């Protein structure tokens, strides 16, 4: 938990936001300025090369005149070399002295291709920008058909950008330093009602009196809405406590009668010989008193019990189920660590309700030999996804998805025989999409693996019948009958006994099971007591 106050956190967040914003603005300005400065330099280089090319045609003799090629751009010298068609230097700027521009390869390429080129290089460890352009083939001078090389240092541009970076950093730090105290001042006023709300809640907590209420304001801000919500919660708590007190009062009153009778009967039996009628009354009173006491104890325990904080011991739970009940256990999970613990405890089937989002589950199945259920879903675990784009093509998506998941599982080492397929009714599907996928269940038989159908109490049944989950047994049995006819192999049910009875009667009537001629209904099953 952070030790910083909310005001401090807001101030820090504001300072960081301002710092980031100014920094981003400085980066954007630097990029724009860099582009403009380099573009301007390139234009100056190109313009100077054009002047030299014009001079080579109009007055070629001036190219070799001392100082004719010297010029500058924005205070930076423009160094020029004029080459003949063989690449030999005919003339150059006096500022170069004995140095030569590092552009031999560039010049040769320009003379050969006839196309101008830009290049970045260095001269005396200083970065320079170079522009080479072909000279006209007219004019009759020695430079005809040669090239002109123009270069200038970019050190001044780099220095300008460096100063801009430093200025941006200083501005960002200054803005952040101003934003932090400004945020502290602003939040102090904003959080004052929240501090009052906290103080009022502390008083209520100390007194444990739900009849108290938090102070409210006439404003419609978030703090006012929070106070109203907390006051509504306190009102509900007060109402619940009143009902509890009334219940306990009624129960106490109800206990007086059997207790009084019990005392009277006990006194009578103490003075007289036991009689069966008295004993019967006494037993009835004791039973009635026991029921009331049990009810009161249950209410008291539920009211006083703390919510569970320790995790459920999955290994012990599964071990007890496997050893005591002798059943095969399947675990629904998409988490490899949970699956591993369940398999270690005796589970034999992994039902991956995520559609194998984590291939590590396939690795576990391959290593342990556990059956692996591949379920179709486009939704992440715990996500509700109703995507109308799959209307009319859900069945095709189920088939393609399961085929691809089978290939992935087998590539991770899971044998074909360990795979079970589930079209995933209601998972990432609207009721209509679920119905579409189930109507095409026959297409999944082409994949060659058993089909698991979890149809019990599903949403699509509720959409058809308009009933809540616990009232969907009839619809579930209808879906079960259809699933069996469509070739389903495994069915997950809530009402297991009802489903077994349904299938038993169905099979007998269809002739798949015989009812012996000597079959009789036990008298105890003929009718129920009124």
- Where residue 92 sits, what CATH number does that domain have? 3.30.450.20
Name which of 202-211, 234-243, 314-323, 436-445 the model is least confident about: 314-323
Share of the chain above pLDDT 90, in %: 31
Q: Are residues 21 and 144 in the same domain?
A: yes
CA 520 to chain centre: 60
Taking residues 10-31, report their average pLDDT. Answer: 87
Please identify which residue in the block is written with the tokens 């058909």: 145
**Please, what's the b/e burial string for 169-197 (b: 16 or more CB within 10 A of its CB; e: otherwise)?**
eeebeebbeebbeebeeebeeebebeeeb
Which runs of E-coded beta strand occur in 215-254? none
- Position 294 scores a pLDDT of 59
- Position 324 scores a pLDDT of 57
User: Which among 161, 196, 230 is the end of a domain?
Assistant: 161
Q: Are residues 222 and 153 in the same domain?
A: no
DSSP 3-state of 326: coil
Q: Are residues 157 and 219 in the same domain?
A: no
Give dist(CA 468, CA 190) in Å, integer. 46
210, 241 Cβ separation under 8 angstroms: yes
| 284 in any annotated domain | yes
Name the nearest CA neighbour of 490 among 403, 419, 431, 426: 419
| 65 in any annotated domain | yes
Q: Are residues 150 and 286 in the same domain?
A: no
Q: Are residues 135 and 212 in the same domain?
A: no
- Position 46 scores a pLDDT of 92
Q: Are residues 142 and 282 in the same domain?
A: no
pLDDT digits 0-9 by tens, 460-484? 999 999 998 889 999 999 999 999 9
pLDDT digits 0-9 by tens, 29-59? 989 999 999 999 999 999 999 988 888 888 8
Q: Are residues 16 and 146 in the same domain?
A: yes
Q: Are residues 140 and 266 in the same domain?
A: no
Name the nearest CA neighbour of 462 among 470, 450, 454: 470
Q: Are residues 92 and 228 in the same domain?
A: no
Give dist(CA 107, CA 293) in Å, integer. 107
User: Which among 287, 305, 323 is the end of a domain?
Assistant: 305
- 8-state DSSP, 451: B
Count of alpha carbons within 13 Å of 370, Cβ hemisphere only?
Answer: 29
Q: How many CB atoms lie within 10 A of CB 339?
A: 25
- Position 279 scores a pLDDT of 58
- Position 304 scores a pLDDT of 46
| 457 in any annotated domain | no
132 pLDDT more than 90: yes
pLDDT digits 0-9 by tens, 245-287? 666 655 555 555 555 556 566 565 555 655 555 556 666 666 6
The set of residues, in sequence order, having a beta carbon less than 8 Å from that of 7 and lying 6+ positions away, is 183, 184, 187, 188, 191
| 495 in any annotated domain | no
Range of the domain at 279: 208-305
DSSP 3-state of 383: coil
- 8-state DSSP, 73: E
**Torsions phi, psi of 92, nearest 5?**
-155, 170
| 248 in any annotated domain | yes
Taking each helix axis from N to C terminus, what angle separates 394-411 and 360-368, rounded to the nearest 10 degrees?
60
| 318 in any annotated domain | no
Name the nearest CA neighbour of 510 among 484, 491, 490: 484
Give dist(CA 346, CA 367) in Å, integer. 15
| 491 in any annotated domain | no
Q: Are residues 24 and 135 in the same domain?
A: yes
The set of residues, in sequence order, having a beta carbon less than 8 Å from that of 352 and lying 6+ positions away, is 333, 334, 361, 372, 373, 374, 375
- Position 15 scores a pLDDT of 85
Give dist(CA 279, CA 441) in Å, integer. 66
**Torsions phi, psi of 469, nearest 5?**
-55, -45
Name the nearest CA neighbour of 402 among 383, 423, 381, 433: 423
DSSP 3-state of 332: strand
- Position 382 scores a pLDDT of 77
Name the nearest CA neighbour of 454 among 426, 429, 482: 426
Give dist(CA 137, CA 314) in Å, integer. 90
Q: Are residues 18 and 122 in the same domain?
A: yes
Alpha helices (H) along 79-221: 104-113, 155-190, 192-207
Verdict on whether the full-model pTM lies above 0.85: no
Taking residues 159-184, report their average pLDDT. Answer: 87
Q: Report the domain count for the chain.
A: 2
68 pLDDT more than 50: yes
525 pLDDT more than 80: no
Taking residues 409-430, report their average pLDDT. Answer: 92
pLDDT band at 1 (very low <50, low <70, confident <90, very high): very low
pLDDT band at 345 (very low <50, low <70, confident <90, very high): confident
User: Which among 256, 284, 305 is the end of a domain?
Assistant: 305
The set of residues, in sequence order, having a beta carbon less than 8 Å from that of 176 and lying 6+ positions away, is 15, 16, 18, 19, 22
334, 381 Cβ separation under 8 angstroms: yes
Q: Are residues 156 and 241 in the same domain?
A: no
| 237 in any annotated domain | yes
Give dist(CA 82, CA 146) in Å, integer. 8
Give dist(CA 504, CA 103) in Å, integer. 95
CA 288 to chain centre: 55
Q: Can you give the C-alpha Rg of the chain in angstroms? A: 44
Which runs of E-coded beta strand occur in 287-355? 330-332, 349-352
Give dist(CA 61, CA 69) in Å, integer. 12
């Amino acid at each position: 938990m952070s030790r910083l106050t909310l005001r401090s956190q807001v101030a820090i967040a504001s300072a960081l936001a301002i710092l980031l914003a100014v920094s981003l603005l400085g980066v954007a300005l630097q990029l724009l300025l860099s582009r403009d400065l380099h573009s301007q330099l390139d234009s100056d280089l190109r313009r100077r090369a054009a002047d030299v090319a014009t001079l080579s045609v109009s007055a070629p003799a001036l190219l070799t005149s001392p100082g004719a090629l010297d010029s500058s751009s924005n205070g930076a010298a423009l160094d020029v070399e004029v080459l003949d068609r063989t690449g030999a230097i005919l003339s150059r700027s006096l500022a170069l002295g004995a140095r030569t521009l590092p552009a031999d390869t560039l010049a040769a390429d320009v003379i050969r291709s006839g196309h101008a080129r830009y290049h970045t290089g260095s001269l005396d460890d200083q970065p320079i920008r170079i522009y080479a352009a072909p000279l006209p083939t007219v004019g009759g001078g020695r430079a005809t058909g040669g090239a002109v090389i123009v270069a200038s240092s970019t050190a001044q541009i780099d220095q300008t950008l460096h100063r801009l970076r430093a200025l941006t950093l200083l501005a960002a730090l200054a803005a952040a330093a101003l934003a932090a105290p400004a945020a502290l001042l602003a939040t102090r006023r904003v959080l004052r009602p929240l501090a009052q709300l906290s103080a009022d809640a502390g008083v209520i907590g100390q007194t444990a009196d739900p009849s108290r209420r938090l102070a409210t304001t006439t404003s419609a801000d978030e703090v006012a809405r929070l106070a109203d919500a907390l006051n509504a919660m306190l009102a509900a708590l007060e109402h619940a406590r009143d009902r509890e007190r009334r219940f306990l009062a009624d129960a106490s009153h109800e206990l007086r009668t059997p207790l009084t009778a019990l005392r009277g009967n006990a006194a009578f039996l103490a003075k007289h010989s036991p009689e069966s009628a008295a004993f019967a009354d006494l037993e009835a009173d004791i039973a009635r008193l026991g029921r009331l006491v049990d009810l009161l104890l249950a209410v008291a325990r539920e009211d006083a019990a703390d919510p569970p904080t320790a995790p459920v011991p999955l290994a012990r739970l599964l071990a007890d189920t496997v050893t005591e009940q002798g059943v095969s256990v399947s675990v629904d999970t998409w988490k490899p660590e949970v699956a591993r613990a369940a398999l270690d405890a005796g589970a034999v089937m992994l039902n991956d309700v995520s559609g194998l989002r984590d291939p590590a589950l396939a690795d576990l199945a391959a290593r342990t030999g556990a059956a692996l259920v591949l379920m179709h879903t486009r939704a992440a675990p715990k996500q509700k996804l109703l995507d109308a784009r799959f209307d009319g093509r859900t069945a095709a998506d189920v088939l393609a998805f399961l085929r691809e998941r089978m290939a992935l599982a087998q590539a991770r080492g899971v044998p074909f025989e360990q795979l079970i397929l589930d079209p995933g009714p209601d998972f990432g599907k609207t009721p209509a999409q679920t119905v579409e996928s189930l109507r095409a269940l026959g297409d999944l038989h082409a994949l060659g693996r058993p089909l698991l159908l979890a149809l019990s109490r599903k949403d699509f049944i509720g959409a058809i019948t308009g009933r809540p989950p616990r009232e969907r047994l009839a619809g579930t049995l209808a879906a079960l009958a259809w699933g069996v006819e469509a070739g389903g192999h495994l069915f997950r049910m809530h009402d297991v006994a009802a489903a077994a009875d349904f299938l038993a009667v169905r099979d007998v009537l269809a002739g798949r099971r015989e009812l012996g001629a000597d079959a009789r209904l036990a008298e105890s099953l003929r009718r129920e007591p009124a």
